[in-house]
Amino acid sequence: MNTLFQDCDVISVYTRKQAIEDGVLADLRQGGLEEVCRQLTSWPIACTSTVFHECIEVTPAAKQARCDMKGRLWDVLWMMKRAIQTSGRPTDTVYFDVLVVIDRMKPTLTKFKAVCGPDDDGRPCITIMYPHED
């Protein structure tokens, strides 16, 4: 199969590992969150730094609401897993909603997108982001 870029030289590559090292992505299997991830998926999983800081990490409002990182991550991963199970068709992208305490005590209905794609070695991995992020 011929592609538009088949005979082109690669100019630059930005790997998933580099994105995690740079803080663009947060590896959710680190920092004491490994067990939560292991309970809900066997694949490597990361999220954008924006999702991590607003929805996984404990914000001041989340702290006031007595939320913790493991519980916040569990909610996001559980709803992602349910979206995958109920999608009814093979797909590399699912959209799902989670009630998250972000900047006020009352939870906000927050929309997410989970994308399954290859990691740097070609194995499947999942990245969670907001729908407008790539």
Q: Residue ranges of the domains in the chain?
A: 45-85+93-134
Structure tokens at 118: 């290859």
Whether residue 1 has pLDDT greater than 80: no
pLDDT in tens, 33-85: 999 999 999 999 999 999 999 999 999 999 999 999 999 999 999 999 999 99
Q: Are 49 and 25 in contact (CB under 8 A)?
A: yes
State whether residue 107 is helix, strand or coil.
coil
Name residue, tokens 């009352």: 106
Q: What are phi and psi of 118, to 5 degrees?
A: -80, 145
What is the percentage of the chain residues whose pLDDT exceeds 90?
Answer: 81
What number is the average pLDDT over the span 110-117?
96
Whether residue 3 has pLDDT greater than 90: no
Nearest-angstrom CA–CA distance, 74 and 86: 18
Close Cβ partners of 106 (under 8 Å, ≥ 6 residues apart): none
Neighbours of 79 (CB within 10 A): 19
Give burial (CB, 10 Å; 0-12/13-18/19+) of 127.
Answer: buried
Q: Using the CB atoms, write b or e for 89-99: b if 16+ within 10 Å.
A: eeeeebebebe
Nearest-angstrom CA–CA distance, 18 and 111: 26
Name the average pLDDT for the chain: 92
What number is the average pLDDT over the span 16-29?
95
